[in-house]
Amino acid sequence: MALLFLIIGGGAKFARENLYILAGAGAGFAFLDRLGMREFLLGGMALLLGAIVTAMIHHRRFRFRIEGDAIRVRRGLFEKKDLRVRFARVQNVSLSQPVYFRPFGLVRFSIETPGAESTEVELPGISQALALALRDHIARYAGQMADQGESQADHAASPDAALEVAVAGQVLHRPSTGRIFAHGLVSNQVWLIAGVAAWLSGTLWERMEDWLESVGVSQVVQAILALGWAGAAALVVGLTMALFALSGLLSLIRFHGFVLHDHGDRVLAVSGLLDRREQTIRREKLTGLTLYQTALGRLIGQWYLIGKQATSKEIEVDTRGQRFLVPGMRRRDLGLAGDLMPGVNLPEDLRPISRRFRTLFWTRTSVLVLTACGLAWWWLPDLRLAIAGVLAVLLLILWLIHLSWRRWGWQVVDGVCWVRQGLIGQRLDGFELSAVQQATLVRTPYFRRHGLASVRLVLPHGQVQVPFLTLEDASALINRAVYAAETARRHRV
């Protein structure tokens, strides 16, 4: 049975990885008259056969074993891989159950460690009971040094219960469906969808036009065009609304029934409609968290939270929702930060950065633009209207600089450093100073003239920068961070 799913999964993966080739081939098949239906079917059959054979070999080769405090996986098609991961190194266990796994009680089980670029160990299609048992087994080993007595009771989740029952624990956060929909509305994925849609429409437009002509729908288009500005505006509004609705729906599908549970030394998030996903994250391996509020989210007071863990990735990318995201938070839910990282309190107020941030960027931008405009005014009298437009844009930029300056803020509360940045939206990074890996003081000639400095702190999950502090504040922050790192009990990630 697992074999069947491996074929489906393998097919899906193959399709994802070779999307461009497939799309090209599909387009070729669809639009080239030379290839008939028979060739198309033959090609499809060959691909399917290849996928089945690959999946069968993959299935035959795939073996895993639990060796006390470690898991060993052997796999590989052409190149055999033998991998052994110690449970103590595991920072993230996630179970996911796509909709086609559900009737057979199978789940996909994956483990992440800090060193790996992507998921280290993935067991596609093991039984749910085994997965849950394995999860608790890992939690027991991993949490051994943290505590033993207290959380043992929590661990005693019965392995044969359903996914929903097995995660019983104190509920930390359960956003309403409306909130999850709102998360989709305000999240930046709207722009991503818009970009993809624009790209698709760009490439498909010519084809569409031909098609429209042939079908005779062009009368409809002409009718819309005849409406003039009102019609165009309605079209734009309609498209925008459709875009937002789509984004909201996607969010609903992904985060359907999101619940965050507390299990002592670990927290557990369950969500998803089509692909039921359960993420277990160890509190100890949480090196920081970030609270986000997008520009639109500010309008309706919507936040979301991302738990940060050590990574070797250079750029933060959302690889199939692997990161630990808590959607649909309101202002009063922000205390969740303290629930995730005990002893962490949100700062009541943040300290601003130096006024010179605004002064510097205001003066430099203005001088640059005004000089250019003055020259243009002198040399190109025809374009004076455009120059006036540029000056208006300059005002807007100056305002944005002011907003950015207002948004910057930092504070240290109980050894936890908070840094806020943003323009209209905002993000608030919180991390323990003791997690700092490296501290850098940066001074440009301008900073040296005005007694300022920037601080750059390298954390296991990436860098955080605080610009335009006074030299005293910057040095004090670095001294504190370095002191905290050197006296911390936990040494390496």
Partner 1 sequence: MEQAEIFSNRQVATAELPDFRRVALTPVAPAYLPWALVTQTAFWLILAVVALIVPRLPFLPFDLSGWERSWVLPLAPLLVAIIGAVYARLDARTRAWALREHDLVYRYGVLWRKTVIVPFARIQHVEAVHGPLERYLGLMRVKCFTAGGMTADLTVKGLDRSDARRVRQYLLEQIAASAEAEAGEEGGTVGEAGPDR
Which positions lie near partner 1, rule CB under 8 A? 114, 144-151, 170, 262, 264-265, 283-284, 310-314, 341-344, 414-416, 432-445, 448, 458-463, 475-476, 478-480, 482-493
| Nearer to partner 1 among residue 150 and residue 210 (C-beta) | 150
CB of 133 to partner 1, least distance (A): 23
Q: How far is the CB of 253 from partner 1 (least distance, A)?
A: 32
Under DSSP, the state recorded for 427 is E
CB of 146 to partner 1, least distance (A): 6
CA–CA distances in Å: residue 87 to residues 83, 112, 122, 142, 336: 13, 10, 14, 6, 27
Closer residue to partner 1, CB minimum distance, 199 or 446: 446
- CA dist 110 and 131 (Å) reads 10
Helix 2-17 vs helix 37-61: angle between axes, to the nearest 10 degrees?
A: 120
Q: Shortest gap between Cβ of 418 and partner 1 (angstroms)?
A: 13
Pair of tokens at residue 361: 């960027």
**420-450 burial: b if 16+ Cβ within 10 Å, else e:** bbbeebbbbbbbbbbbbbebeeeeeeebeee
Which CB sits closer to partner 1, 110 or 287? 287
Least separation in angstroms between CB 346 and partner 1: 13
- Smallest distance, Å, CB 462 to partner 1? 6
What are residue 431's DSSP bridge partners?
Answer: 288, 417
Q: In the bound complex, what is the minimum distance in angstroms from residue 115's beta carbon to partner 1?
A: 9
Contact in structure between 335 and 346 (CB atoms under 8 Å)? yes
What's phi and psi for 118, nearest 5 deg?
A: -130, -165
- In sequence order, what are the residues at sequence separation of 6 or more whose Cβ sits closer than 8 angstroms to the Cβ of residue 424? 295, 298, 403
- Select 132 or 436, whichever has its Cβ closest to partner 1: 436
Residue with tokens 């179970």: 95
The CB-of-70 to partner 1 minimum distance in angstroms stands at 19
What are the φ/ψ torsions at residue 262 (nearest 5 degrees)? Answer: -105, 125
Return the beta strands (E) in 104-231 as ranges.
106-112, 121-127, 170-173
d(CA 282, CA 295): 31
Closest separation in Å from C-beta 416 to partner 1: 7
| Interatomic CA distance for residues 245 and 428, integer angstroms | 27
Q: Which is nearer to partner 1, 150 or 318 (CB)?
A: 150
Whole-number minimum distance, CB 106 to partner 1, in Å?
32
Q: How far is the CB of 97 from partner 1 (least distance, A)?
A: 28
**Nearer to partner 1 (CB atom), residue 17 or residue 486:** 486
Written as one letter, the residue type at 129 is A
Nearer to partner 1, 365 or 454 (CB): 454
86: phi > 0 → left, psi -120 to 50 → alpha, else beta; which?
beta
In this complex, which beta carbon is closest to partner 1, that of residue 145 or of residue 295? Answer: 145
Backbone angles phi, psi at 81, to 5 degrees: -115, 135
Q: How far apart are CA 331 and CA 334, in angstroms?
A: 6
The smaller minimum CB distance to partner 1, of residues 122 and 284, is found at 284
Q: Any residues with CB less than 8 A from the CB of 193 and at least 6 apart, and which?
A: 243, 246, 247, 250
| Residue 284 vs 333, nearer CB to partner 1 | 284
Of 278 and 432, nearer to partner 1 (C-beta) is: 432
**Contact predicate 180/327, CB 8 Å:** yes
What tokens were used for 464? 């955080």
